[in-house]
Amino acid sequence: MTSQDSSLLVYEYLPNGSLWDRLHTCRETELDWDTRYHIAVGAAKGLEYLHHGCERSVIHRDIKSSNILLDEFLKPRIADFGLAKMVQANGGQDSTHVIVGTHGYIAPRNLLSCCLGDYLTDSVS
């Protein structure tokens, strides 16, 4: 399909689905604690890159096990950037006052203070 009016997103196929699927529905091969540790460290490194390694920092705002996908080696990939925001170059907040995220995963400080989200938002999820 080729058109100047359309755009396509092409993603790598990740055969092991989401971390949530592996933890809650995949009974034939349970993840051992060493594997879980490596997945957690890999996801944390991904967040560190988004927060500090990009030209403009990215705050995901919806980190949860269903948004962490696993490749054939169970290496994690952060997915679903629909609620993500880029931090302004000067470090300021964007102008929206809408609190976003998945109920149950929103950082409590965002709900209590109407904080729009910062790096700590992703670490609480």
Catalytic hit among 5, 21, 32, 62 = 62
* Predicted TM-score (pTM) of this structure: 0.69
Q: Which of 39-43, 61-65, 70-74, 115-119 bottoms out in mean pLDDT, i.e. has the lowest?
A: 115-119
> Does 100 have pLDDT greater than 70?
no
pLDDT for residue 60: 85
More confident position, 6 or 114: 6
CATH architecture of the domain with residue range 19-124:
Orthogonal Bundle (1.10)
48-57 confidence digits (pLDDT tens): 999 889 888 8
Catalytic site includes residue 62: yes
Domain ranges of the chain: 19-124
User: 3-class DSSP state for residue 23?
Assistant: helix
Residue 36 predicted with pLDDT over 90: yes
Question: Other C-beta atoms within 10 Å of 88: how many?
Answer: 12
How many CB atoms lie under 10 A from the CB of residue 10? Answer: 4
